Amino acid sequence: MNKKTAIFNIVVPILTVVVIFAVWLISSISVADEIILPTPFAVFEEVIELLKTNRFYQAYFNTLLRSVIAFLVSFVLAFIFAIMSKFSSILRKIIETIVPIIRALPTIAVVLLLVLWVDSKVAPVIVTTLVVLPTMYTTLLEGINEVDSDIIEMCKVYKISKKRQIVEVYTPMILPTVIVAIGTGLSLNLKLMVAAEVLSSTVRSLGSLLQESKIYFETANMFALVLVSVITGLIFEISGNVISKRLRRKR
Amino acid sequence: MIELKNISKSYGDNVIYTDFNLQINEGETVAILGDSGCGKTTLLKIMANLTDFKGEVVGFDNPSFVFAEDRLLPHKTVKENLLFVNKEKDVSSMLEKVGLKEYENAYPKELSTGMARRVSVLRAFCYDTNKMLLDEPFRNLDLSLKYRLMNFFLELKKVDKKTAVFVTHDPDEAVFIADRIIILEGGKVLFDEKVLDKENMLKDIKKILIKD
């Protein structure tokens, strides 16, 4: 990495975050009401307080676990759908009829219905899976379609079975794209999970903590919870990008 | 004997072959020359069953193919790329013979153009078949590398007597490698001779190709 790129990649994002915090600080000072807009310092203090409580860890890891489960389900389904779409035109037609319908489902309506039908711990998992599935499917199918047709022709010449093509050609070749998608998918998943937990009133979750803070006007606490979610989402997304870049560099 | 019987092929309205016939002897190395668009690569694709066509190709099942591009899998090492087409092959000893043993764990990205070409040719030799197709395998290579690779091909072929059909634009390359030269024009065989006297053959085919 040369000096110019280093500045671009490290200094610019740091400066952007500093500016965001500065705007937040100035705004909170001018509003001068901790219930409407707490200062960043008050929020940081709240984060530290949160990190001292068992209740927070229980909620955080429950939400995280639910996000990961929902993500895994949507990822596996999306992968199966993408492979089926690639190799069967009839299945592609069926899947491409279903996927836009899933994409168009109003999230809130689905949560409200699911709360009637299933447990409040399960409802957010189903909603998140349904919302992430179409995006994952599109990303994976695009990745599969981008695999060089010349390579596939080579496989045909050398009589490589479809199973070996999926395992030895498609999967490793789309891996960098997939890892980025996993990072962004997990981040999106967490965001949706928290929202779905609020709507489903899921006990011992980040969503329920947020809901409680709202009821008691603990705005700094709400901000602290949001900050923790944002940082977790960013960790997912950045990790995906870093791993993907390493993989691409190796090839 | 390999036979192409009554081959017809067109891309939309563009007719490439109509009732085309050709016979190739086992173990022969045949060079196919001709102007761009005369159907050279299409002929290879027909023989490899990579395109739809009417007619019949007899006695040319399961050929290996050296493509104009290397088409190596970027996520597999040199050794893994060779094993990809034949898990049974002792690829290490093959790599040793061609001076690539120390690169067996290298990825295609780490190879020079010439090395990648050699791996691509070697892959075709690894495949368990005695038929081989080559589509301009030495295109865009500098002269010394081209001759090194052509010698490498001839050495491999000496050990492994495959029937090879290769397409080229280069008369020198054709005469250097082939036992027989075919020139195509408008989907028909314009010239078909065994290479007996390389010098005279080169003059003859250049005359035809330059249309002097």
A137-154 per-position pLDDT tens digit: 999 999 999 899 999 999
Predicted pLDDT at A165: 94
Predicted pLDDT at A3: 74
CA distance A128 to chain B (A): 33
- For the stretch A222-242, pLDDT in tens is 999 999 999 999 999 999 888
> CA–CA separation, B67 vs A155, rounded Å?
12
- For the stretch B28-72, pLDDT in tens is 999 999 988 888 999 999 999 999 999 999 988 889 999 989 999
Partner B contacted by A175 (CB < 8 A): yes
Please give the span between the terminal C-alpha atoms of chain B, in angstroms, as a whole number: 35
What is the mean predicted confidence (pLDDT) over A104-125?
Answer: 90
Partner B contacted by A142 (CB < 8 A): no
What's the full length of chain A, in residues? 251
Q: Other C-beta atoms within 10 Å of B163: how many?
A: 21
- The β-bridge partners of B184 are B34, B189
Inter-chain contact B67–A150, Cβ cutoff 8 Å? yes
Confidence of residue A158 (pLDDT cuts 50, 70, 90): very high
Write down the residue that tokens 């409040």 correspond to.
A120
Predicted pLDDT at A10: 84
> CA–CA separation, A176 vs B189, rounded Å?
48
What is the mean predicted confidence (pLDDT) over A42-46?
Answer: 93
Tokens of B124: 């075709």
Count of CB pairs separated by less than 8 Å, A with B? 41
Tell me what the pLDDT averaged over chain A comes to.
Answer: 91
Predicted pLDDT at B99: 79
Predicted pLDDT at A1: 57
Confidence of residue A246 (pLDDT cuts 50, 70, 90): confident
Domain coordinates of chain B in residue numbers? 24-51+58-63+131-212, 70-128
DSSP state of A251: -
Inter-chain contact B73–A151, Cβ cutoff 8 Å? yes
Q: By three-state DSSP, how is residue B30 classified? A: strand
- Closest chain A residue by Cα to residue B80: A168
Q: What pTM does this model have?
A: 0.77
Q: By three-state DSSP, how is residue A84 classified? A: helix
CATH T-level topology, domain B24-51+58-63+131-212:
Rossmann fold (3.40.50)
- For the stretch B141-156, pLDDT in tens is 788 878 888 888 888 8
Residue A153 with chain B: CB contacts under 8 Å: 50, 67, 71
User: Are the CB atoms for A155 and A165 separated by under 8 Å?
Assistant: yes
Tokens of A138: 């599109």
- For the stretch B77-127, pLDDT in tens is 999 999 999 998 889 888 887 778 999 999 999 999 888 988 998 899 899
Confidence of residue A193 (pLDDT cuts 50, 70, 90): very high
Rounded percentage of chain B residues whose pLDDT exceeds 70: 100
Inter-chain contact A158–B50, Cβ cutoff 8 Å? no
Burial class (CB in 10 A: 0-12, 13-18, 19+), A243: middle
Write down the residue that tokens 């764990």 correspond to.
B105
Instruction: Report residue A35 CA to chain centroid gap.
Output: 29
Inter-chain contact A157–B84, Cβ cutoff 8 Å? no
Predicted pLDDT at B38: 87
